[in-house]
Amino acid sequence: MNLEAGQTLGEFIIENQKDFKYSSGELSRLISSIKLATKVVNHKVNQAGLVDILGKFGSENIQGEEQQKLDVFANEAFIKTLSQREVVCGIASEENDDFIQITNTVNSHLSKYVVLIDPLDGSSNIDVNVSVGTIFSIYRRVTPEGTPVQIEDFLQKGNQQVAAGYVIYGSSTMLIYTTGNGVNGFTLNPSIGTFYLSHPNMRIPEDGNIYSINEGNYAHFPQGVKDYLKYCQKVEEDRPYTSRYIGSLCADFHRNMLKGGIYIYPSGSKSPNGKLRLLYECNPMAYIAEQAGGKATDGFQRIMDIQPTELHQRVPFFCGSKNMVEKAEELMANS
Ligand code: AHG
Ligand code: MN
Ligand code: MN
C-alpha cells in the first residue's frame, strides 16, 4: 500500500474535530502540538549513536530511576513544545517531581486541558537500538479555567480521559491515538516529516497467542500470575501460546494490539504495586486498549476506574486481548 496519496494526521485531526464533545479547536491544536514534539524526539532518537545522546544523564527522577540523556531531552521537548503554544494549562511528567502550571503567556492559563506524559518509555532500550516510545494522556481540567491548575486536575480517573496515545520510535515511527471514537494509527514518512493514516480503526483481536511479562521476576509473582503462566505453558493441552517481551511497554503493547496478546506487569514481593505508573502509562494504554476492543485491569478491577491518590502512583497492569485478560483475572480471583 502506498500511503503518500493517503490522509495525513494533520488532515485527520481537522476532519475529526467535529466529533469532539466540546469542539472549539483547542484539542485539535493540542494534538497537533504533540505531533510536532514527537517529530523533534524522533529526530533525536534517530541520531542516537551519531551524536552524544546515548547514556546516562547523571541524575535520578522522583522515583529513584536513573535518567538517561534521551529521557531528559524528550521531557524538555514535550514540555517546551506544549507550554509555548497556549494549548495546555498544566503538564505532569514521569520525569518531574511535581506537576507544572503553565503561566508563561497571557492566555495559557485559559486553556482547558492538562497533559500527563511518559516522554520516553523503555529507557533501558535506548542504548541498544531497540524501540522506545512516548505515552500521553489528556484530561479537561476540573478547577476553574483562568486559574492556575491544581493537583486535582491531574488526579482524575482514567475514565475521564479526553484523548490518549502513544508513539513508537522503531523500525518506523508511528503515532497511535484515540479521542474516544476508536483508535487510529499513523506512520511517519521521515523524508518529508509527515504522518500518514496507515492503521485506521485498529481493533485488538479478542484472543491472542502472545504473553508479555518479565519472567525474571517469576519468584516474586502473585500465585494467580504463576497459575496463568502455567495455564499458557501447559504442554499436555498443546496450548498455542508463545512469549515476547521487549521491555518497552509501547512496543510490547503495540505488537499485542496488532497480533493479539496480553501484557502483564504484576505486583511482586519487591514492588507491591508493580512498576508501571497509573497516570502516565496504565491509564492511557487502558483507554486505547478498550477503544480497540481490549481490556485493562489491575488483576481485579478496571484500570480506568481506579481513583488516583498521587501523581507517580504505580499499579499492577494486565492489558490486551479481552479473553486473555479475563482468563488471567479468573486465575487471580481463584488464587
Ligand atoms: P520507563 O522507561 O518509562 O521507565 O518505562 C519502562 C517500563 C516499561 O516500558 C517496560 O515495559 C517496563 O518498564 C520494563 O520493566 P522491567 O525491566 O522491570 O521488565
Ligand atoms: Mn514508561
Ligand atoms: Mn519514561
181-190 pLDDT tens trace: 999 999 999 9
**Res. 317: pLDDT tops 70:** yes
Q: In what order do the strands lie in the sheet with 210-212?
A: 242-243, 210-212, 261-265, 317-320, 295-297
53-74 pLDDT tens trace: 677 777 777 777 777 889 999 9
Please state, in angstroms and rounded to a whole number, the distance separating the CA atoms of residues 233 and 282.
26
For residue 39, the tally of other CB atoms under 10 A from its CB is 18
If you write DSSP's letter for every residue of 203-266 in order, what string do you get?
---SS-SEEE--GGGGGGS-HHHHHHHHHHH-TTTT---EE---S-HHHHHHHHHHH-EEEEE-
Q: From the alpha carbon of 125, which atom of ligand 1 is closest?
A: 2
Burial of 226 (0-12, 13-18, 19+ CB in 10 A): middle
123 within ligand 1 shell (Cβ under 6 A): yes
Please state, in angstroms and rounded to a whole number, the distance separating the CA atoms of residues 107 and 82.
13
Please state, in angstroms and rounded to a whole number, the distance separating the CA atoms of residues 275 and 315.
7
121 within ligand 1 shell (Cβ under 6 A): yes
270-295 pLDDT tens trace: 889 999 999 999 999 999 999 999 99
108-162 pLDDT tens trace: 667 899 999 999 999 889 888 899 999 999 999 999 998 999 999 999 999 999 9
Q: What's the whole-model pTM score?
A: 0.95
Give distance in angstroms: CA of 240 to centre of ligand 2. Answer: 29
Q: Measuring from atom 15 of ligand 1, which residue has the nearest CA?
A: 247
249 within ligand 1 shell (Cβ under 6 A): yes
In the numeric block, which cell numbers belong to residue 79? Answer: 514540555
Domains (range + CATH), the chain: 9-199 (3.30.540.10), 210-334 (3.40.190.80)
List all residues 6 or more positions away from 216 whose beta carbon is below 8 Å from its beta carbon: none
Please tell me whether 122 is known to bind a ligand.
yes
Most informative mutation of 134, 265, 278, 279 for ligand 1 (most atoms within 8 A of CB) = 265
Q: Which ligand is nearest to the CA of 280?
A: 2
Which residue shows C-alpha cell 511497554?
Answer: 249
Q: What is the pLDDT of residue 110?
A: 75
Q: From the alpha carbon of 214, which atom of ligand 1 is closest?
A: 19
Which residue shows C-alpha cell 484530561?
Answer: 139
